Amino acid sequence: MKIMVLGADGFCGWPTSLKLAKEGHDIIMIDNLSRRKIDRELESNSLTNIHSIYSRLKVAQDLGYSMYFINCDITNYKEISSYMLQHVPDVVVHFAEQRAAPYSMNSEKERRYTVDNNIIGTHNVLNAIVDHSPNTHLVHLGTMGVYGYSKEFGAIPEGYLNVKINSTQKDTDILYPTNPGSVYHMTKSIDQLLFQFYNKNWGIKITDLHQGIVWGTQTEETEIDEQLTNRFDYDGMYGTVLNRFISQAATGNEITVYGTGGQRRAFIHIQDTAKCVQLAAENPPDSDKVRIFNQVAEVHSVKDLALMMEKLYQAKVKFLDNPRKELAENQLEVDNTGLKSLGFEPIKLSNRLVDDVLYIAQQMKDNMKKENILTSPRW
């Protein structure tokens, strides 16, 4: 298939592009390299040494992969629509959004940037598909954060909640009520409404993958050559909790638990991100309803992860005032039967896998800027 990957230079986009290319698909990679620019703006960095998109691409092409890169900002409608018209892809995989909750809550500049970038970008992609490639299947990376993280309505279903209407006593499926915890998560909630409308009105085929927190850094595909190395965020803005804890343990820093650590979240390994996107892309839905899958492997509390670091690596755990407005404790159960029915066999957290990531973090420990560990804004 011809697959256009938006956000193909990012943490999830790069290994997924490689995986899809290895599986024999033709990959048109699109990115405006804004994530690398934000690293410079924050004076932060990936813990791993990442090569330029052009060096990455050259190595991948030498391996025989059909990959091609376009530097394009998807908020520029003229550009993204002209590439859609030129390529008419079978599938568009959309990773190209500002994805850090803390960054999106930093100040009005980042709040507005996140909304402008994410909403305009997603809306442009939908319009480019309607106008130039109406049979394209859009696979979007959403987030578990659109649901909030509670068992208020029972186990979290895949996008739609079955309810009984009091006045009619009839059962119906409604889009799960959104409960975002940051401006970033709010943009993903708005994306959902855009998808419902574009599907209803134009019958666009859409899969929204509500992904949990991704951990790990390398995949089978990025390990092939040093120049294909994937990024590893550890800082207070972009680093996600488990990778932060692993990198903190690897560098002799304290494990930074926010609040009590009673927050339960869903997790998935980066190799599985690539696998799940492949499964969704190769198995398109009907166009009569937006298909929503929960892209998660397992649920853990933040505290349990910290205690695991303490036990495995004798790391010191530090409980800090929580900079975020979130539930101090929550219960969470998530339905992930959709992707499993397509063949997804989740990789679960194991000592061996954590050891692999820890080894990389130890190798790269000189790259860690300690002053960037606690940079989250408070909200």
Active site residues: 143, 184, 188
96 binds ligand USQ (CB under 6 A): no
Of 19 and 303, CB closest to ligand USQ: 303
Element (H, E) at 295: strand 291-295
- Bridge-based pairing of strands 264-269 and 213-215 is parallel
Least separation in angstroms between residue 107's CB and ligand USQ is 17
State yes or no: residue 94 binds ligand USQ (CB under 6 A): no
Least Å distance, CB 166 to ligand NAD, is 35
DSSP 254: P
Choices 16-24, 38-46, 67-75, 237-245 (CB under 6 A): range interacting with ligand USQ: 237-245
Q: Does 100 help bind ligand USQ (rule: CB under 6 A)? A: yes
Pairwise CA distance, residues 35 & 54, whole Å = 16
Q: Give yes or no for residue 270 binding ligand USQ (CB under 6 A).
A: no
Among 213, 224, 347, 353, contact with ligand USQ (rule: CB under 6 A): 213
Whichever of 282 and 326 has its CB closer to ligand USQ, that residue is 326
Report residue 376 as tokens: 């989250």
144 forms part of the interface with ligand USQ (CB under 6 A): yes
- The answer to the question of residue 241 lying near ligand USQ (CB under 6 A) is yes
Please select the residue that binds ligand USQ; options are 6, 93, 101, 349, rule is CB under 6 A: 101
Closest separation between CB of residue 132 and ligand USQ, Å? 29
- Contact between 93 and 6 under an 8 Å Cβ cutoff? The reply is yes
- Which H or E element spans position 242? helix 241-250
Give the type of residue at 136: T
Instruction: Quote the CA–CA distance of 90 and 3 in Å, as a whole number.
Output: 6
- In the chain, the DSSP E strands lie at 2-6, 26-31, 67-71, 91-94, 137-143, 160-164, 171-175, 205-211, 213-215, 255-258, 264-269, 291-295, 298-301, 317-320
For residue 12, the partner it binds in ligand USQ, ligand NAD, none, with Cβ less than 5 to 8 A by kind, is ligand NAD
Alpha-carbon distance of 68 to 78, in angstroms, equals: 20
Interface positions with ligand NAD (CB under 6 A)? 7, 9-13, 31-35, 73-75, 95-97, 99, 117, 121, 141, 143, 211, 213-214, 240
Residue 310 or 324 having the CB closest to ligand NAD: 324
98 binds ligand USQ (CB under 6 A): no
Where does residue 252 fall: left (phi above 0), alpha (psi -120 to 50 degrees), or beta otherwise? left
Examine residue 264 and tell whether it contacts ligand USQ (CB under 6 A): no
310 contributes a contact to ligand USQ by CB under 6 A: no
Q: Is 257 in the site for ligand USQ (CB under 6 A)?
A: yes
Residue 332's closest CA among 308, 357, 302?
Answer: 302
Nearer Cβ to ligand NAD, position 20 or 162?
Answer: 20
DSSP assignment string, 187-221: HHHHHHHHHHHHHHHH--EEEEEEE-EEE-S--TT
Interface with ligand USQ by CB under 6 A: which range of 28-36, 259-267, 342-350, 361-369? 259-267
How far is 1 from 87, CA to CA, in rounded Å?
12
Query: Least CB distance from residue 182 to ligand USQ, whole Å?
Result: 7
Contacts to ligand USQ from residues 19-78, by CB under 6 A: none
Segment holding 301, helix H or strand E: strand 298-301
**Residue 4: which of 104, 137, 100, 126 has the closest Cα?**
137
Nearest to 239 by CA among 110, 368, 112: 368
Nearest CA-CA partner of 17 in 130, 109, 139 = 139
Number of residues located near ligand USQ, criterion CB under 6 A: 22
Residues 166 and 72: their CA atoms lie apart, in Å, by 49
Choose which of 256, 278, 294, 301 interacts with ligand USQ (CB under 6 A).
256
CA torsion sign for 367, 370, 371, 372 is: positive
258 contributes a contact to ligand USQ by CB under 6 A: yes
Residue 324 site contact among ligand NAD, ligand USQ, none (CB < 5 to 8 Å, cut-off depends on kind): ligand USQ
Q: Which residues bind ligand USQ (CB under 6 A)?
A: 99-101, 143-145, 212-213, 240-241, 244, 256-258, 261, 263, 265-266, 302, 322, 324, 326
